[in-house]
């Protein structure tokens, strides 16, 4: 097996994002894709186990794209065949080490909220490769140490976790683990200077799984990747954007899409809305839609205008409306409202701070009132 892409995580998001892109690119032109993918299950989840077994037996899975795009309804299914090997970290650890030492050029990950956790039980004796580390950072430290000892070329790491500066964050975690194990300075230099740790932002709503493996996703997709010298990408695709300004894409998503979701959740909470109310329901109800549109128009877009990016923001906002009005997406406001107070601060305060820094004469009353409301 000579798969140049190694993926940690079997989630439906990765199936409908990275793995989908590689499938589409390879079918258009095999030269546009780096190659096939090996996926690795890192948890004890029964659902993940079922996905791994299904991938092993079938070698392909469906991704159904459903939603709205530029006033048109999209409903189409792709059979994805980019994954040709599925491993379990705890059972196939020695094989995984061999893969990383010889074949892999890119490592992709999406390890969920606990993915960057560190564990005291992950100690230096794991470097002999005989046992599987518990933490993801420790797994990478062992795998990259084996690659370093084998004299293989440096590797590109493309984390997809929703963590700001995720590549930098993961690099620092892995280096921290390695330093704690008192490895030689040359390996630390290999991690810090030779391996390419790439910051990126992913954006696609993958609403439902298809059992035992597969996913239903919206038409919109973005993988914004910060340009770095020497990096290798899994493929070329129109929804993969290589940029020198990743912060621009993060700002658009945070202050328009994420802020919009949280503003709808704010209205829903103050009105004691139905537990089953969805984003689509809210967009069809003027009581929700009108204050949301007023917030975007009067309190957010002027900030982008002051930054010289009003037209870009307006175009992005048009895509957000398409996504919010997706007739196939069951996106409940009750789910969006989880951890609402923390989300309000993270999504509303930055646009208020930006308006102040830019000395804008706008009231931003809805955003301020929402922050002041328990």
pLDDT confidence of residue 164:
87
Question: How many whole angstroms separate alpha carbon 192 and alpha carbon 181?
Answer: 16
Query: What is the spatial distance between Cα 85 and Cα 59, in angstroms, rounded to a whole number?
Result: 8
Backbone angles phi, psi at 89, to 5 degrees: -55, -45
State the pTM of this model. Answer: 0.91
Q: What is the DSSP string of 40-80?
A: EE-S--HHHHHHHHHHHHHS-EEEEEEEEETTEEEEEEEEE
Write out the two tokens for 176: 């921290």
In contact, 246 and 264? CB cutoff 8 Å: no
Domains of the chain: which residue ranges?
5-244, 247-372
pLDDT over 80 at 112, yes or no:
no
Q: What is the mean pLDDT of residues 235-264?
A: 97
pLDDT band at 174, cuts 50/70/90? Answer: very high
Residues 6+ apart with CB under 8 A from 96: 40, 87, 89, 143
Distance CA 364, CA 369 (A): 9
Select the CATH number that applies to the domain covering 5-244 from these four: 3.40.50.2300, 2.60.40.10, 3.40.50.720, 3.30.470.10.
3.40.50.720
Mean pLDDT, the chain, whole residue set: 95
- Closest listed residue to residue 129, CA positions, set 77, 167, 93: 93
Radius of gyration of the chain from its Cα atoms, rounded to whole angstroms: 22
In whole angstroms, what is the distance from residue 341 CA to residue 319 CA?
A: 26
pLDDT of residue 113: 65
Q: Which CATH number fits domain 247-372: 3.40.50.2300, 1.10.645.10, 3.30.420.10, 1.10.1040.10?
A: 1.10.1040.10
Q: What is d(CA 39, CA 84) in angstroms, rounded to the nearest whole number? A: 8
Query: Token pair of 321, please?
Result: 């409306």
Q: What is the pLDDT of residues 136-154, one digit of tens each?
A: 999 999 999 999 999 999 8
How much is the average pLDDT of 234-248? Answer: 97
């Amino acid at each position: 097996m000579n798969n140049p892409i190694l993926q940690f995580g079997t989630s439906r998001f990765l199936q409908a994002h990275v793995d989908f892109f590689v499938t589409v690119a390879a079918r258009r032109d095999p030269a546009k894709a780096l190659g096939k993918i090996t996926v690795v299950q890192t948890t004890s989840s029964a659902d993940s186990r079922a996905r791994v077994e299904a991938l092993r037996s079938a070698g392909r899975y469906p991704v159904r794209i459903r939603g709205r795009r530029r006033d048109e309804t999209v409903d189409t299914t792709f059979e994805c065949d980019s994954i040709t090997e599925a491993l379990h970290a705890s059972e196939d650890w020695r094989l995984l080490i061999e893969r990383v030492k010889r074949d892999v050029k890119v490592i992709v990950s999406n390890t969920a909220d606990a993915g960057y956790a560190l564990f005291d039980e992950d100690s230096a004796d794991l470097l002999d490769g005989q046992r599987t580390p518990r933490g993801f950072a420790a797994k990478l430290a062992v795998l990259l140490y084996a690659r370093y000892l084998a004299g293989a070329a440096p590797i590109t790491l493309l984390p997809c976790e929703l963590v700001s500066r995720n590549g930098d964050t993961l690099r620092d975690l892995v280096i921290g683990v390695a330093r704690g194990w008192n490895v030689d300075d040359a390996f630390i230099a290999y991690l810090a200077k030779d391996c390419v740790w790439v910051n990126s932002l992913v954006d696609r709503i993958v609403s439902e799984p298809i059992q035992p493996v597969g996913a239903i996703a919206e038409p919109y997709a973005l993988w914004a990747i910060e340009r770095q010298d020497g990096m290798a990408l899994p493929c070329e695709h129109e929804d993969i954007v290589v940029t020198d300004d990743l912060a621009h894409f993060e700002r658009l998503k945070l202050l328009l899409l994420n802020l919009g979701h949280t503003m709808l959740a704010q209205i829903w909470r103050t009105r004691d809305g139905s537990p089953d109310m969805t984003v689509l329901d809210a967009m069809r109800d003027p009581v929700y839609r009108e204050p949301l549109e007023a917030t975007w128009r009067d309190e957010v877009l002027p900030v982008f205008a002051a930054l010289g990016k009003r037209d870009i923001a307006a175009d992005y906002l048009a895509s957000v409306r398409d996504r919010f009005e997706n007739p196939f997406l069951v996106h409940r406001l009750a789910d969006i409202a989880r951890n609402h107070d923390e989300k309000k601060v993270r999504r509303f305060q930055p646009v208020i701070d930006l308006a102040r820094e830019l000395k804008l004469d706008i009231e931003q009353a809805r955003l301020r009132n929402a922050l002041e409301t328990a």
